[in-house]
Chain A
Amino acid sequence: MERVEHTAKIVTARQLGLVACQRCQQVWPQEVDRCTRCGHRLVGRDRKSLQRVWAFWVIGLMCYVPANLYPMLQTRTFFYTQRDTIIGGAIELVHYGSYAVAAIILFASVAIPIGKFLAIAFLAVSVQRPSSVSKGQRQMLFEVVEYIGRWSMIDIFVVAILSSLVQLNVVVAIYPGPASLFFALSVIFTMLSAQAFDSRMIWDADDA
């Protein structure tokens, strides 16, 4: 199947005086302020979108700092109690020789969160000033951030499984540390930050 023969000039809903429901895609004239099909509020362009993006972004970043400083796991055995931070735990794994697991943990809890902060900040800045990165690429970046954001929760789930499973009386027991709460909050707030971003703003420069 061919995509399309003629490169048609794209018209946006805003230029036609229309607004599409962001939840159910029903198309309404701009004067309407609530979609009667699904009850969602209609906004042509969300003016407060960027403010919310930045607010959630800052909270997410603030939670990410203690998430790395406090211990994520406490392992108690006969002889010692060991407290591991996220990065400490990964280094521990490298010492044991499980490089693959260490790589997964470093990727999921260090590379992805930091990459996500950078990507959201870049997108939010790029809609306000001219950017050298093409719109299609920025759109793709946004979709990647939205998709991958949820996967950072993997670390929380690992802690949950470990600390419920490894409760072998006196032999060895694992407990969750305070970092798990901060890490979960950080993931949740960056997800909210990405959801607050109105991707239609990426394309608005076309219409000016």
Chain B
Amino acid sequence: MTAVSLSEAASGVPTLPLKPRADLIVCPRCDAVFALKRPENGQRAVCQRCATVLITPRRKAGLQIIALSVAIVILILGAAFFPFLSVHAVGASNSVSIIDAALAFSDGPLILLSLATAALIFLIPLCRVLLSLYVLVPLVADRPPARHAARAFRLAETLRPWSMAEIFAIGCAVAVIKISDLADVTFGPAFWMFAALVVLVVVQENFICRWSVWNALSTRRKS
């Protein structure tokens, strides 16, 4: 459903100096200006020029995101420490957790890569979920925003492209195929947790309407 609820902005409006313009919305991709009109829940506001989605409000989105986030935190912690995959070949066997996989690059300069891998597949996704809980819980509970909530949400947004749990999941699939003729591979409990986790992360991502969160943060602060 694409519903455009934005009409052409009146041009040449004189502005009071140094006040934000709450009546306008600007497309972040192409800089087009529109008069702001909130779409109904379940509809979307789309930029007329470049079709970037601007606002996607959903009913009860906040509560759903919080529920998903709590589930994600539990799954991340579980998936990190339980055995993840194990191999058996000619009498020898080995099983690893996700932390072991991240720390595989442990000699010499490759240690940097270990730290980066651990961050990308484990620390950054966890950090983003915790930050979004910190921002959203007070908003959904109808309280004033938490201290530094704006800074927290901004950090969560900056980290977004660097959260790579779902890519790691595909990497697992490729690795398992690669060694399947070398050795027997069995999946541990963490593997299934991680599979569920990836789905939840993607769903949670799509539920968050960034414009609505920022709007809630700024209107609550004034009151």
Interface residues of A (CB under 8 A from B): 1-4, 8-18, 20, 22-29, 31-32, 36-40, 93, 96, 98, 101, 104-105, 135-136, 139, 146, 149-151, 153-169, 171-172, 176, 178, 180-181, 184, 188, 191, 195, 199-200, 202-204
Contacts and interface: CB of A to CB of B under 8 A. Distances in A.
B110 A164 contact: no
Interface stretch (B64-72, B125-133, B151-159, B198-206): B151-159
Task: Pick from A18, A93, A146, A161 the residue with the most CB of B within 10 Å.
Answer: A161
A24 B101 contact: no
Interface string B80-104: 0000011101111110100011111
4 nearest CB pairs, A to B: A157-B171, A20-B26, A8-B8, A164-B104
A105 B19 CA distance: 52
B93 A168 contact: yes
Contact of A8 (B7, B29, B113, B170): B7
Contact of B29 (A27, A164, A199): A199
- Count class of interface residues, chain B: 35 or more
B141 interface: no
A20 B174 contact: no
A171 B117 contact: no
Nearest to B211: A25
A98 B177 contact: yes
A200 B21 contact: no
Contacts of A171: 89-92
Nearest to A89: B178
A202 B101 CA distance: 41
Interface of B: 1-4, 7-9, 11-13, 15, 17-22, 24-26, 28-33, 43, 46, 48-51, 54, 85-87, 89-94, 96, 100-105, 109-110, 112-113, 116-117, 120-121, 150-151, 153-154, 157-158, 161-162, 164, 167-168, 170-172, 174-175, 177-179, 181-183, 210-211, 214, 217-218
A136 B28 CA distance: 15
Given A37-B217, A151-B167, A164-B100, 12 more contacts: A3-B4, A12-B33, A13-B26, A18-B26, A27-B20, A27-B24, A29-B21, A160-B104, A160-B171, A161-B85, A164-B96, A176-B113
19 contacts: A11-B8, A16-B33, A25-B26, A28-B20, A29-B19, A37-B218, A38-B151, A154-B174, A160-B102, A160-B104, A160-B117, A163-B104, A165-B94, A166-B87, A167-B94, A168-B92, A176-B104, A181-B112, A199-B30
Nearest to A6: B8
B21 A23 contact: no
A203 B89 contact: no
A11 B33 contact: yes
Contacts of B102: 160
A157 B4 contact: no
Given A156-B113, A165-B87, A139 B50 contact: yes
A20 B116 CA distance: 33
A114 to B, nearest CB: 19
B87 A176 contact: no
B31 to A, nearest CB: 4
Contact of A172 (B26, B29, B33, B89): B89
Contacts of B43: 1
A20 B182 contact: no
A135 B2 CA distance: 21
B127 to A, nearest CB: 17
